[in-house]
Structure 1
Amino acid sequence: MSVMRTLLSVILLYLPALLAHATADLPPHIQVDRALDEHVSVLNARSQLQIEHSEQRKRESGDYEFTVHGALYRDRLLENGDDVDYRDWEVAIERPFRLPNKMWIDSEIGEAGVERGRNKLGDARHETSRLLLQLWFDWQREQAQAAQWQQQVEILRQQATITEKRIRAGDAPRMELNQINAAAAMSGVSLRQAQLRTELAADQLQRQFKAIKLPAAITPVEPQSIEQPLSFWRGAVLEHNHELGLAKSEAVFQNRLAARASADRLPDPTLGLRYASQLNNRQKIGGIYFSIPLGYSARSASADSASHTAVIAADREQALRIRLEGDIFSAYTRAVSTFQIWQQARDASSALHQNAELVARAYSLGESSLDATLIARRQSLEAALAENTARLDANEARYRLQLDAHQLWTGDNDRHQEH
Structure 2
Amino acid sequence: MTRKVSVALAATVGAMAIWSAAAQAGGAHDYLPAEEAVRQAIAGSPDVMAAEARRDATLARAVGIRAGTAETVVRAIGQGRSVREPSQRFPEGQIAVERPLRLWGKADADARLADATAEAGDLAVMDARHESSRQILALWFAAMRAGQARVAAQENARAAGELVAMTTRRIQAGDAARLDGELAASDQARTQAALATASAAEQAALAELHGRYPGLGEPGSPPDARLPPVPPEAPEALRTDYVRGSHEYRLAMAQEAQAQRHAARADLERKPDPTVGMFVTIERGGAERILGVSVAMPLGGDHRRAAATAAAADAEAAARSRMAAERRLGTEFDVQYRNLLGRRSSAQAQAEAVSLQRTASDRATRAYRAGESGLAELLAVRRSLAEALLAERLARVDALEAGSRLSLDLHQMWDLDD
TM-score by length of 1: 0.90
Partner of 2:96: 92
Structure 1 residue 387: deviation in Å? 0.8
Asked if 1 retains the 8 angstrom alpha-carbon contact of 2:77 and 2:95, the reply is yes
Alignment of 1:278-297 (within 5 A): 278-297=283-302
Given candidates 39, 44, 51, the residue that maps to 2:57 is: 51
1:376 aligned residue: 381
1:235 aligned residue (205, 222, 240): 240
Q: Deviations over 1:47-67 (max 9, x none)?
A: 233223222222222232211
In 2, are the aligned partners of 1:272 and 1:289 still within 8 Å (CA)? yes
**2:320 is the alignment partner of 1:315:** yes
- In the alignment, structure 1 residue 364 sits paired with structure 2 residue 369: yes
Partner Cα separation in structure 2 for residue 309 and residue 403 of structure 1: 32
Distance in structure 2 (CA, Å) of the matches to 1:221 and 1:122: 35
Query: Are 1:149 and 1:190, in contact at CA under 8 Å, matched by a contact in 2?
Result: yes
Aligned match of 2:79 in 73, 78, 98?
A: 73
Out of 332, 350, 372, the position equivalent to 1:327 is 332
Q: Which residue number corresponds to residue 13 of structure 1?
A: none
Residue identity in the other structure for 2:163: Q
Partner of 2:186: 182
Corresponding residue SS for 1:22: coil
Check the 8 A contact 2:140/2:219 in 1, yes or no.
Answer: no
- Residue of structure 1 in register with 2:119 after alignment: 115
Q: Which of these residues, 11, 33, 37, is aligned with residue 39 of structure 2?
A: 33
**8 Å Cα contact 1:22-1:221 kept in structure 2:** no
In 2: Cα distance, 1:228 partner to 1:193 partner: 43
Aligned to 2:13: none
CA distance in 2, matches of 1:233, 1:216: 30
| Residues 414 and 221 of structure 1, relative CA distance in 2, 3 Å threshold | farther
User: Is the Cα–Cα contact under 8 Å of residues 52 and 110 in structure 1 kept in the other structure?
Assistant: no
Is the CA contact (8 Å cut-off) linking 1:21 and 1:221 kept in structure 2?
no
Between the aligned partners of 1:343 and 1:253, the Cα distance in structure 2 is 49
Task: Name 1:300's counterpart in structure 2.
Answer: 305
Is the contact between residue 66 and residue 110 of structure 2 (CA under 8 Å) also seen in structure 1? Answer: yes
CA contact (8 A) 1:277 1:283 kept: yes
Answer whether contact 1:225 1:336 (CA < 8 A) is retained. no
Distance 1:341 1:19, change over 3 A: closer
Name the stretch that deviates more: 373-382 or 293-302: 293-302
Residues 73 and 89 in structure 1, CA contact (< 8 A), matched pair in contact too: yes
2:252 maps to: 247
The offset of 1:295, in angstroms, is 2.7
Summarize deviations over 1:104-147 as a string: whole Å, max 9, x none. 01110111011111211221111111111111111111110011
Say whether the 8 Å CA contact 1:152–1:187 is kept in structure 2. yes
CA distance in 1, matches of 2:224, 2:59: 46
Which stretch of the first structure deviates more once superposed, 192-201 or 49-58? 49-58
Note if 1:164 corresponds to 2:168. Answer: yes
The residue matched to 2:303 in structure 1 has which SS? helix
Task: Tell me the residue number matched to 2:8.
Answer: none
Answer yes or no: is the 8 Å Cα contact 1:233–1:332 preserved in 2: no
1:130 partner amino acid? R
Indicate the residue corresponding to 1:206 in structure 2: 210
Alpha-carbon deviation of 1:218? 5.1
Distance 1:93 1:253 in 2: 34
Q: Describe the shift of the 1:221–1:266 C-alpha distance in structure 2 as closer, same or farther (beyond 3 A).
A: farther
Question: Of 370, 391, 413, which residue of structure 2 is paired with 1:408?
Answer: 413
Distance between the aligned counterparts of 1:58 and 1:19, measured in 2?
53
* Counterpart AA for 1:123: D
Q: Take 1:85 and 1:295, find their aligned partners in 2: how far apart are those partners?
A: 43
Counterparts in 2 of 1:21 and 1:304: CA distance versus 1, 3 Å: closer
Distance 1:77 1:66, change over 3 A: same
Which secondary structure does the structure 1 equivalent of 2:345 belong to?
helix
Between 228-237 and 104-113, report the one with greater CA deviation: 228-237
TM-align CA RMSD: 1.7
Q: Which amino acid aligns with 1:212?
A: L
Match of 1:42?
48
Tell me what 1:339 maps to. 344
Q: Secondary structure at the match of 2:292?
A: strand
Alignment of 1:60 with 2:55, yes or no, is no
- Give the Cα separation in 2 of the matches to 1:403 and 1:372: 47
> Aligned residue for 1:104?
108
Deviates most, 44-53 or 129-138: 44-53
**Deviation, structure 1 residue 394:** 0.9
SS of 1:212 mapped into structure 2? coil
Q: Within 5 Å, which residues of 2 pair with 1:262-281?
A: 262-281=267-286
Equivalent-residue separation in structure 1 for 2:25 and 2:341 (angstroms): 21
Distance 1:220 1:249 in 2: 44
Partner deviation per Cα, 1:211-242 (whole Å, 9 max, x = no partner): 20115655446113414432132022123111
Displaced runs of 4 or more, over 3 A: 18-22, 215-221
Gaps (5+ residues) in structure 1? 1-17
Overall identity of the aligned pairs, in % = 29
Is the 2:26–2:227 Cα contact (8 Å) retained in structure 1? Answer: no
Say whether the 8 Å CA contact 1:160–1:180 is kept in structure 2.
Answer: yes
Shift, 1:169, TM fit: 0.7
Alpha-carbon separation, structure 2, partners of 1:221 and 1:127: 30
Structure 1 residue aligned with 2:155: 151
- Please say if residues 277 and 284 of structure 1, whose CA atoms lie closer than 8 Å, have aligned partners that are also in contact: yes
- Going from structure 1 to structure 2, the CA distance change for 1:238 and 1:45 (only over 3 Å counts) comes to same
In the alignment, is the contact (CA less than 8 A) between 2:70 and 2:101 conserved in 1?
A: yes
Structure 2 gap segments, 5+ residues each:
1-23
Match of residue 4 from structure 1: none
Q: Pick which of 355-364 and 19-28 moved more.
A: 19-28
